[in-house]
Structure 1
Amino acid sequence: MGNIKSQPEFENPWRKITWGKEKKDNLIQGIKGIEPYKKELKCLRVLLVGPSGSGKSSFINSVNNAFKGRITCSALSDRIGGKSFTVEYKPFEIESGNSSLNVVFNDVMGLESAHNQGCPVEDIIKAIHGHVRPGHVVFCLVYVLAADRIQFAEESVLEKIRYIRLQVKSLALPQVMVLTNVDQACPLVKADLQRIYNSKKIKQKMEWCSNAVGVPMCHIFPVKNYHEEIDTDDDMDVLILQALTQIIQVANDNAKNRSSKS
């Protein structure tokens, strides 16, 4: 019998989670029931930031898939590494039935290692303040990193993320991290997604991200984006919807806090 330290998983999951269609349906209903703090606030704007190829656009599509129950591609994505496929600041609504959720994702060009390539950090700061599109103030900042690539992340890209985090610190802007490609990062998870919180490798990668960027573990959510599937999967949707729930809740809390200070 091998040393227990060499085992790839914990005996018990370190984060509690319920799987399956019933849980997915409950999450969807809960998300639909979240109303913006102020009625005059039409939507909660969320900005997605991350390196090129981290899965920002795929995450938007995956959220849409969970609500539509089918594969969608409203946000164009490119799985080939290198330069960012997203070339402009673009808002995406999440459709649910005949209406849209009260949350809008704003996607921007990916961060790249070269100083003069990718999305300039100054533009991201402007977007957060609503200076890119008047009135489009951001209530939550979401970093998207790929679990299978973080060990190869360029230090310059991480420096850009840290700079953004410091620049928005004074705003008390909530910051959440979505860790994508968990199936590519851990064979255990690739074989069985429900073992994600038993995986030592995934927890280690989450801890690495928390230390490297500064986002607390409780605000980091590992997910598996849709990329080769032709049908939706309830367990994939549960992880995606849990991340979305947290994003919407902290964004709404931020909207409430801003209102009380104004």
Structure 2
Amino acid sequence: MQGLVERLPDIHEGAGKWTRALEEETMGKLLVVGDQKALLARLLGMAQMEDVLAESGLQAAVNTPYLDGASFDQFRPAMWRTLREDYPTKIDPKSVKGEGVGDTENPATYLHRHLKRWKLETGRNPEGDELMTTLFRTSIVEVMPPPVRSRLEDVVGLNSKTHREFCDHVIHTVEKHRKDEQKLKEQEKEVQRKLSQLQLGELTKKKKVQAMMKAEVPEPRPEAVVSSGGPPRLPMPQGREKPTIPDSGEEVKKALLSFTARSSKKKAKRARARV
């Protein structure tokens, strides 16, 4: 008995979880009323255990072992109902907080999965009362992508709509958001494609201009060799003797005097020949 008590969750945190855990622990075992009386007495105390028996239709078992050997199965539904009413589940915001819908997950499947998880955690129908309905729907809206959450928050009276209408709003908004996202991605791809084409065109045009400019550049011509202090000298063809040209004014003067002297000698020689 002690080991079983330690393995079960705290019944004061919610009888729903406690009864489910007890069902799992005792699966395949035959329980009698006396087993349940002993378990509740250890958990709640004698006074509270007797109150639960009375509320569950087991008044004949209070302060007497009269029904201790009777099968507990016939009294199980009534006792579980009494325990859930006396020890309602304390809702932990973290445990019932919704999980975000997957990028490609069907929104209807997501809502069904979250509803099932909510019932498992709380042991209550989220559409059973106004408070639970608000908590359940808020837990879904809060984890939606920002654009979806903003659109749902703008719906007037969303929490007052029927469960079917609420689910339809969520499904429609999620699907519209996905279509908008897909359209935006396609537009971005198209812009990127056009930009790449423009860049390729500019590069091709630039290469053509460079090729044309290179074709128009003339071949370099031989340049005259300039010697400091004298007139320019053109390069001579191969195999010819390079003439001697005076490089300065003084040399030119000497060359003239030499030429004059030679001429005078020739004239004098011809004169003597005539004589």
TM-score interval, normalised by the smaller of the two chains: under 0.3
Q: Which structure has the bigger radius of gyration?
A: 2
Specify which structure has the higher proportion of strand: 1
Specify which structure has the higher proportion of helix: 2
Q: Which structure carries more relative contact order (alpha carbon 8 Å, separation 6+)?
A: 1
TM-score normalised by the chain length of structure 1 = 0.20
